[in-house]
Structure 1
Amino acid sequence: MKKLSYVVKRGGSVGTVLTPHLHEDNHFVVSLTRYEKDYQRVKREQDLVEWVRKGYSVRMSNQSVKSHRSPSLITPSSIEIREI
């Protein structure tokens, strides 16, 4: 299975790992732009890899770090795809 992550590279939380953010409706969000009207809701986390490969950004967060509890839109070129 493949997992997505992003490591924060600047600011006060350098090194913090972000993962796909599960929204209250139990979906993940991908988008080609930063605008909510373009959001695509994705039910299964494992499906996010294909969206990233198509060029979509992913909303990611880290609930254990106060400054990253709210999801940020992370570009495909910054996302690490790893096998677990």
Structure 2
Amino acid sequence: MKIFAKVSRGPQKGEIVTPHRHEDGTYVVSPTRYEKDYIRVTSLEEFALRIREGFKGRMSCETVKGARLFSRSSIHIEN
């Protein structure tokens, strides 16, 4: 499974990002941008399922400083 998004603005515009894996091994999806609403999931399959349900996902890459929250419409999922 391939999950990615492209940064659309700012100095890193055009960079490709993938789901951000936190130190505890989880990924984050959320209905809002607020940390209190973050839902941690343990697999990319669950991450993709939640994105398809309409959640946003935290994404990052080595060249983009810090993880960013991307909306469902910006995230591409290929099986």
TM-score normalized by structure 1?
A: 0.86
State the Cα deviation string for residues 43-76 of structure 1 (Å, max 9, x = none).
111221110111100000012x1xx131000000
Deviation at 1:11, TM superposition (A): 2.4
Q: Give the match's secondary structure for 1:70.
A: strand
Name 1:81's counterpart in structure 2.
77
Equivalent AA in structure 2 for residue 72 of structure 1:
R
* 1:70 matches 2:66: yes
Greater CA deviation, 8-17 or 22-31? 8-17
What is the number of residues matched between the two proteins? 79
Q: Give the match's secondary structure for 2:8.
A: coil
1:41-56 aligned at under 5 Å gives the runs 41-56=40-55
Q: Give the match's secondary structure for 1:24.
A: coil
Name 1:37's counterpart in structure 2.
36
**1:19 touches 1:62 (CA, 8 Å); kept in 2?**
yes
Q: What are the ranges of 5 or more consecutive residues in structure 2 without an aligned counterpart?
A: none
Q: Give the match's secondary structure for 1:22.
A: coil
Deviation at 1:38, TM superposition (A): 0.7
TM-score normalized by structure 2?
A: 0.91
**4+ long deviations beyond 3 Å:** none
**What is the CA RMSD across the aligned residues, in angstroms?**
1.1
Whose Rg is larger? 1
Among the aligned pairs, what percent are the same residue?
A: 42
Q: What are the ranges of 5 or more consecutive residues in structure 1 without an aligned counterpart?
A: none
Higher strand share: 2
